[in-house]
Amino acid sequence: MDNYFIENLETGKLELHFEKSTYTALSDEQKSAIKGAFLWGRHSGCWISRRKRPNLYYPREIAKSIGLEDAGKTGEKMSFAEQMQQKAERADRRADRYEGYADNAAARGETLQKPIRDMHGDIAFFTQPNINTNAGRSFTNRRNKMFAAFDKGFEEFRKSAYWKDRAAAARTTAGQAELKDRAFVSRRIAERERDIRALKRGIESNEKMLQEMNAGKTFSNYAGEPYTAEKIQEWLNDQLDLMEDKLDELGFYQGCLEDLGGTQFSKANIKPGYTVKVQRFGTAVVVSAGPKNITAKLSTGSVLKFAYAEILQIVSDAVKETPQHPFNIGDTFNCHRWNPENSSYENATYTIIKSSASTVTMQHGSEKPFIRKPHQLPWANANEWAIKVTDGFDGIWRKRSA
């Protein structure tokens, strides 16, 4: 085959291989589509997709639209750890290259500004008026060129600063400092676990669809075009490949977390009321502890969620007495609520018919009762509580405890 596309498993990208005559024969629109989704690889001699798997649907459609044959896959898939190592090595080489650019630009700047710097202290050189003679015009032209070179030197110094910034960013990437951050690694683990759960649901759905299709049932898309068993199997194969990738990434980040000492804290040893120290925010009081995250109140009054991996230490395990909300049985609240029948707000009175340490049960007239959970207002007085009763403009009930 002279005109084909192939998926490179090592890079995770799609490659277009075709003769120059094939490219010349394409329309301007097709050429524009290729340039928008692919980059020309000088060393590989082919067009390489900007996107990586699993986001190759659009590049693949472009390849099919210009008549290229599918040559399947080539190369050996790299593990996620190998990909990360390769990324760090590329960033390190990039940093070396950028630092070289910066040094060269600084050297050019020094060279361009040296003639003027050498004249420092020669007042006559800078104050000499323009004299309309051969020697005077020659001197003026020489001085103007030196000033122009001096100005170009500033541009070279600006380039040097730019490349130094790029080199610093590349060094940061090469250093992989984020892999030494428990909070970052913990979030990546949670993301991969979420991706895996979604993929499992998709795989089960496609397997069920395939079984039903084999039993004679038909499925079609939004345009009414029927799906084929081959298409469903193609989706299933892609999902299984992606599942393998996500499991590999999950194992990598779990290994990083183990290298950092693992997660020292969990719901088993963090209780509401504890004072803990969290990354970036300092001390905070735990309001609630869930299976994977805690809700904590900072010294500023803000209430935020944190992963257990973000807890650095327990400052105090002295549990403070849980404050009690001030809402009691028989309390009433008047507000407005939206009436969809006449498209207007109407007055409504809600009464508390039950009250517990954490919730209250409310009712309007003979309507069905509903439960609300009072909460303290962290940005206001600590004794002020609130309940969201309705979505109306005055539907929040605030009350201070005694």
Q: Which residue has the tokens 């290729």?
A: 34
The model's pTM is 0.70
The pLDDT value given to residue 378: 66
One digit per residue, the tens of pLDDT, for the chain of length 402 reads: 678 999 999 989 999 999 888 889 999 999 999 999 999 998 889 999 999 988 998 999 999 999 899 999 998 888 999 999 999 999 999 999 999 999 999 999 999 999 999 988 888 888 888 888 888 889 889 899 999 999 999 999 999 999 999 999 999 999 999 998 888 998 899 999 999 999 999 999 999 999 999 888 888 888 888 889 898 998 899 899 999 999 999 999 999 998 988 888 989 999 988 999 998 899 999 988 888 889 998 888 788 889 888 898 999 988 766 678 899 999 999 999 988 888 888 999 999 999 998 899 999 999 999 999 998 876 555 678 999 999 888 999 999 887
41 phi and psi, to 5 degrees?
-95, 110
The pLDDT value given to residue 125: 85
The pLDDT value given to residue 379: 59
The pLDDT value given to residue 171: 94
